[in-house]
Structure 1
């Protein structure tokens, strides 16, 4: 298919976030044999607007229409494409009958603003995809938006370290985030440290000082285990895209049992826990007997087999075109 992917480019934080969700799907679509153009809507707007934001947004939308006129897309895939308007998408659909429009959002649907923007985009889309399942996804569908669950992909060309094989370590557990200093997520880490003071626990990203780029993966490589923990740990099958990065990097991933991911991953693939003390005890054992290596290796292999960038991209296309997706383990969510 001829596909235009509309998503952020490589400016500002995205300069170091080249392994974002949309870039993996972009790779997956190309590797699956599709002809793909990457339209970087925010960069197009910045280039055009000089000091008048509205002018930049208008010109960016005109640029998308011009590209489509020549390319004649069969699908438009939106990934947080905030600059692209519904009016432009309506014009595209009129000019190119049969062109499918899909919208993908990897933020938590339980956050009100995410639901609002998905519902607002829904009328001009054939299908929407979210990384949240359960009641929130049911509510989105009930609002009249055709929607499916899509997992966070991993890409071996991006998550290109094998932490399980590295010997130089400075952390028994690492946590990467950008929450404010007083956030509950850091307090949870404090509780783990208090329960196992002998363990080396390293944290990055307090007060939005995110670790990005190669430094991010080098830090994962130096860790035995990494914590996948956020604001919505009990929302069915939701995780930030951090989950794909951690499993892809081959680090032993520690994550809460209530997340739902045990449907896809076994006890041999991750360090599932029920609270801070439970995590401390399990991590202590994994460090002592070095089982973190086997868990990291198995978790990477399992996650890549299920959720690699090509397979997730192929699911997106198949679901949008109405093909059979029963073979995908998450298709019934």
Structure 2
């Protein structure tokens, strides 16, 4: 199948970027044997703009995408986080390629009003809309062209390559990486958790408490130095919503703690993710697993194995293509209920 993948490819990061779900999707599409043409809207806008001023290149980026559609003749276009590409351009793409199917993907949370607006605009034009929150939360977007589907945050065997579950000792006992402070009070929980945990437990929190954040290779090294990871979303309670950090930590074999309200127990096996309900619960669980290396490694290995087998980028990409093209499912995807 011929596929145009439109997303922010972060070309001008020159390798110093965070792990990208869009990159994992691109890898998965290729592994599944598709001919994929990548189109990075923001980078094209900057390349085409006068003096490289990106906002001046929006119009040109839309024209270049239509030029790409005409030249490439895709069967499917997947549009991710590409705010520069307008719905009008997608409609024009259909005129150029009348059999074209267009799928939208959104990996940002629904508690951010701006993101809700982005999804609401896209569902009027795309044929399928994949959102990283569970389908229970998507009712607000019904009644338009797009069918609404959940998509998980996958691991990728070429990216999540470390396995902390094999290690008895590592420099960091518990890791929490963050940078966002809007729409959240999770910093208060982290502060109180630090006070509750034993002094000998090494809790590393890059991006918080005036510590610099970690990106690229530094982020990889932080993961590789850690036994356990804390998956705190900016807000909890959205069905099947999690930051991408959960897949990044689990995929690298870190025992991962996440809030019970996300509902991941519905498709995750027992003794994989560690669910907590409140601060007291979390402090007790972290201390318990830190004291029991065998238990920590057993749960982490079981979770890592499940993610790499069932929530990997190859299956993820296959699911998006099959759903968008209305093909029979070739795999019993665990997130389909």
TM range (shorter): over 0.9
Q: Does 1:151 align with 2:155?
A: no
Instruction: Decide whether aligned partners of structure 1 residues 181 and 223 sit closer, same or farther in structure 2, where only a CA change above 3 A counts.
Output: farther
Match in the other structure for 2:233: 230
Greater mean deviation of Cα atoms: 318-327 or 301-310: 318-327
Match in the other structure for 1:220: 223
Instruction: Decide whether aligned partners of structure 1 residues 266 and 79 sit closer, same or farther in structure 2, where only a CA change above 3 A counts.
Output: same
Match in the other structure for 2:63: 62
Count of aligned residue pairs for this structure pair? 332
Match in the other structure for 1:328: 333
1:13-92 residue pairs with structure 2 within 5 A? 15-17=15-17, 19-51=19-51, 53=54, 55-92=56-93
1:279-294 residue pairs with structure 2 within 5 A? 279-290=282-293, 291-294=295-298
1:150-189 deviations in Å (ceiling 9; x for gaps): 1111101011111222355222111011034996212212
Match in the other structure for 1:211: 214
Instruction: Decide whether aligned partners of structure 1 residues 119 and 183 sit closer, same or farther in structure 2, where only a CA change above 3 A counts.
Output: closer
Distance 1:200 1:7 in 2: 38
* Contact 2:62–2:85, Cα closer than 8 Å, also in 1: yes
DSSP 3-state at the match of 1:152? coil
Distance 1:191 1:12 in 2: 38
Instruction: Decide whether aligned partners of structure 1 residues 324 and 157 sit closer, same or farther in structure 2, where only a CA change above 3 A counts.
Output: same
Q: TM-score, normalised by structure 1?
A: 0.93
Distance 2:288 2:58 in 1: 54
Distance 1:257 1:205 in 2: 24
Structure 2 residues not aligned, in runs of 5+: none
* Contact 2:124–2:144, Cα closer than 8 Å, also in 1: no
Structure 1 residues not aligned, in runs of 5+: none
* Contact 2:112–2:183, Cα closer than 8 Å, also in 1: no
Greater mean deviation of Cα atoms: 73-82 or 199-208: 199-208
* Contact 1:119–1:145, Cα closer than 8 Å, also in 2: no
Distance 2:143 2:127 in 1: 15
Q: TM-score, normalised by structure 2?
A: 0.92
Q: Does 1:107 align with 2:112?
A: no
Instruction: Decide whether aligned partners of structure 1 residues 182 and 200 sit closer, same or farther in structure 2, where only a CA change above 3 A counts.
Output: farther
Instruction: Decide whether aligned partners of structure 1 residues 173 and 246 sit closer, same or farther in structure 2, where only a CA change above 3 A counts.
Output: same
Distance 1:15 1:165 in 2: 28
Distance 1:220 1:279 in 2: 20
Instruction: Decide whether aligned partners of structure 1 residues 260 and 173 sit closer, same or farther in structure 2, where only a CA change above 3 A counts.
Output: same
Aligned-pair CA distance for 1:10: 2.4
DSSP 3-state at the match of 1:204? coil
DSSP 3-state at the match of 1:16? coil
Distance 1:251 1:244 in 2: 10
Aligned-pair CA distance for 1:327: 2.4
* Contact 2:128–2:146, Cα closer than 8 Å, also in 1: yes
Q: Does 1:94 align with 2:99?
A: no
1:306 to 307, 310, 313: 310
DSSP 3-state at the match of 1:124? coil
Match in the other structure for 1:266: 269
Query: Over the residues paired in the alignment, what is the CA RMSD in angstroms?
Result: 2.2
